Structure 1
Amino acid sequence: MSDPTTSSGSAIPDRHTPDKAPELAAIASAVAGLLLYGDTFKTQPGLAFQELVKILQAAGDRLDCIRAYGRWFAALADAEQSWFDHLRDCVLHDDNPFSRRVQHVPLSDLPTSLVRAARSDLQTLKGVASCPPEAISHWVQQACELPSPPAAWTVPVTTDPSQVLGEREDWSGALVRLAEHYRCHGTGAFARYRVLRWQSAPSRDRLGAHDLGGQLVGIAHPDPVRWQEIVGYEWQKQALRQNTEALLSGYRALNVLLYGSRGTGKSSLVKSLPREFGDRGLRLVEIAKADLNALPLVIEQLRSVPQVFVVFVDDLSFEEDDDAFKSLKVALEGSATAIAQNVVVYATSNRRHLIREFFADRPRPADSDEIHAWDTMQEKLSFGDRFGLTLTFEPPDQDAFLAIVRHLAQLSGILLPAEELDARAKQWATRHNGRSGRSARQFVDFLQAELEVLT
């Protein structure tokens, strides 16, 4: 597809630009003819662009044309990207038969027709991405007979040398680097996000059974906690790091239970993993306890993806009549289906024994309700043992609490004298939530805001 430029080579056409109809027809045909990457135009900017081209090509109502241009402009402004960068990002994240298969099969072993289709689509997309916004603005001016062209959305195109698809290169010739990108970073939501959440679609059929439907959705703004912010639990961190390294290296990693006192950093440690290991292909998938029945379904979705996954279940515990633990047990021990080697479960709990047990549960000779009552009790007590690795988080003593405060204060740039910092930290612990990593974090946040206001 030729660039919509003037005969002099300028990217901005003047009032004497040749008829826009052939160029618009080429764009419309090119977009409609995409074989693999059609979803790149299902974003808000992509849909608005197609609508605008359609109206311009049909010489539709002037007001409709202006509104369509406004929607395209606003969509790009919301994305805070140039038109070129937007389409390039869509290509890098697109989930299609080529991008999925090339993650598992070398490019040279793919069907020739699939590779040819990918090359053709990439050449088309490069041409559409290179269409200057100024030219489109001028087409709108012509179509609507405006005295001047509307403002064009022109922001600098990203020129990072590490970009897989450059502004001045032939995208169809970059297929080898693009294939490597897909293998390293994945596609779809797994490429866009390092942290995802299982979002269930609860419904009940007429028999009252739960529908396990749902989907994995990306978390655009995950918890920013960093690995180095967790202090005072060094052996726990080392054990979790070693297990996660095994997962990333393709070895059989263990499922982990992190249990102990509230506010000791169990959840924060797990949430820090994507920032620490995300560039090596680790993804964190959070699933609520209420959705554990869908856990086998979630793991099946992750099994065939080349990235590695930590399924995170926070604040785990079960009532004695809660059957959700059976789904978790299947995930921990497997069933007739082999355990997914690229998935582990990291769960946090304030309880070592995850199923509540009462003294009344303990069988007595006089009990006649259950013949094998001891077996039932042992099932409850042993459930926590199904995690291969258990990490205990004890509440910090005063010295450990002050060490955590000093460390967080240093990371936050607080320069109070040590004596004053310690005294205020002790006072905070006494008046608020006691000594814990969470309490230390709250104190440092409060202190930082206070000092900023005073200065």
Structure 2
Amino acid sequence: MTTRDLSRIADALDRLAPAPLPAPDWTASAYVWDTDPDRLVPVQKVNRIPLHLLLGIDRARDTLHANTRRFAEGLPANNALLWGARGMGKSSLVKAVHGDLEKTGLKLVELQREDIHTVGRLLTLLRAAPHRFVLYCDDLSFSHDDAAYKSLKAVLDGGIEGRPDNVIFYATSNRRHLMPRDMIENERGSAINPAEAVEEKVSLSDRFGLWLGFHACDQDNYLAMIRGYCDAFGVTIDDASLRAEAVEWQATRGSRSGRVAWQFFTDLAGRQGVTV
């Protein structure tokens, strides 16, 4: 066998069993999980709003903050599902809570919905790290033919290894049970044993010990959000003008939410030449 043949065999073995990935750079406070190849990509600046500017969701804010603070201190804490109306600050709250507590050394890792099936590999990496992590998945939901939720079920509760002690899982979703209502109804109507079929589909949400509901805001809260942003960033506008312009903005969007409030404020700040 020639040297060239041996080299070719060695290259083939490297492709079959690649060298271990280098240890992540743990100097950042936030990361995005990338699977091509598996690695944690540091995020130098997280896109978030300060915690004190999230208005109208006081109970959810205080509950999630307390749960996360206990986890950061090494105390027992629950996985959390933030569900409900779109644009009401679910993902903003997760990022803001982390921002308020990152001085404790807590790190945030974002897992994309389409990479849920790789969560086991990610947890193996985090388990060995000398840090505590909030593992966060935004807009989590599953369709009728999606089996990825089974990977997550075993990780959250029920698998042999389970969730590492240094990892907590937070997810946001517009759906309380992470699956469309019509899909649950279809399962109930077509299965041989309807109760068992539905139970299999909704049992994932039961693995979250903390459920936080977000509901559409009324006009007073919508205006209060905008006023809070104006005061925080030094944008000046009288109450009558703010109300008239904000209500018109809301009408053109066809909805009223924290996201719409921030979008109006961004437009207002831009018109006044104020940097946000």
Q: TM-score, normalised by structure 2?
A: 0.86
**1:47-446 equivalence runs, <5 A:** 188-191=24-27, 193-201=28-36, 213-356=37-180, 357-363=183-189, 371-446=192-267
- Per-residue Cα deviation, 1:25-48 (whole angstroms, up to 9, x for no partner): xxxxxxxxxxxxxxxxxxxxxxxx
Q: TM-score, normalised by structure 1?
A: 0.53
Are the aligned partners of 1:264 and 1:436 in contact in 2 as well (CA < 8 Å)? Answer: yes
Cα separation, 2, equivalents of 1:321 and 1:338: 25
SS across alignment from 1:452: coil
Of Structure 1 and Structure 2, the greater strand share is in 2
SS across alignment from 1:270: helix
Cα separation, 2, equivalents of 1:300 and 1:431: 48
Structure 1 residue 355: deviation in Å?
2.1
Structure 1 residue 380: deviation in Å?
1.4
Cα gap change, 1:409 to 1:433, in 2 (>3 Å): farther
- Per-residue Cα deviation, 1:78-123 (whole angstroms, up to 9, x for no partner): xxxxxxxxxxxxxxxxxx9xxxxxxxxxxxxxxxxxxxxxxxxxxx
Cα separation, 2, equivalents of 1:189 and 1:272: 23
Structure 1 residue 361: deviation in Å?
2.0
Cα separation, 2, equivalents of 1:402 and 1:190: 41
RMSD between superposed Cα atoms in Å:
1.8
Cα separation, 2, equivalents of 1:334 and 1:382: 11
Are the aligned partners of 1:252 and 1:341 in contact in 2 as well (CA < 8 Å)? Answer: no
Are the aligned partners of 1:296 and 1:330 in contact in 2 as well (CA < 8 Å)? Answer: no
- Aligned partner of 2:80: which letter? V
Cα gap change, 1:433 to 1:284, in 2 (>3 Å): farther
**1:19-38 equivalence runs, <5 A:** none
Unaligned runs of 5+ in 2: 1-21
Q: Which residue of 2 aligns with 1:451?
A: 272
Structure 1 residue 358: deviation in Å?
4.7
SS across alignment from 1:339: coil
| Percent identity of equivalent pairs | 36
- Aligned partner of 2:44: which letter? A
Are the aligned partners of 2:154 and 2:162 in contact in 1 as well (CA < 8 Å)? Answer: no
Structure 1 residue 440: deviation in Å?
0.5
- Aligned partner of 2:106: which letter? L
Q: Which residue of 2 aligns with 1:29?
A: none
Who wins on radius of gyration, i.e. which is larger?
1
- Aligned partner of 1:351: which letter? R
Cα gap change, 1:413 to 1:433, in 2 (>3 Å): farther
- Aligned partner of 2:89: which letter? G
Are the aligned partners of 1:402 and 1:425 in contact in 2 as well (CA < 8 Å)? Answer: yes
Structure 1 residue 220: deviation in Å?
2.3
Structure 1 residue 371: deviation in Å?
4.0
Higher relative contact order (CA 8 A, sep 6+): 2
Unaligned runs of 5+ in 1: 1-95, 97-186, 202-212
Are the aligned partners of 1:353 and 1:383 in contact in 2 as well (CA < 8 Å)? Answer: yes
Structure 1 residue 194: deviation in Å?
1.1
- Per-residue Cα deviation, 1:380-405 (whole angstroms, up to 9, x for no partner): 13321211000001010011111111
The number of equivalent residue pairs is 251
Are the aligned partners of 2:140 and 2:172 in contact in 1 as well (CA < 8 Å)? Answer: yes
Structure 1 residue 374: deviation in Å?
2.4
SS across alignment from 2:272: helix
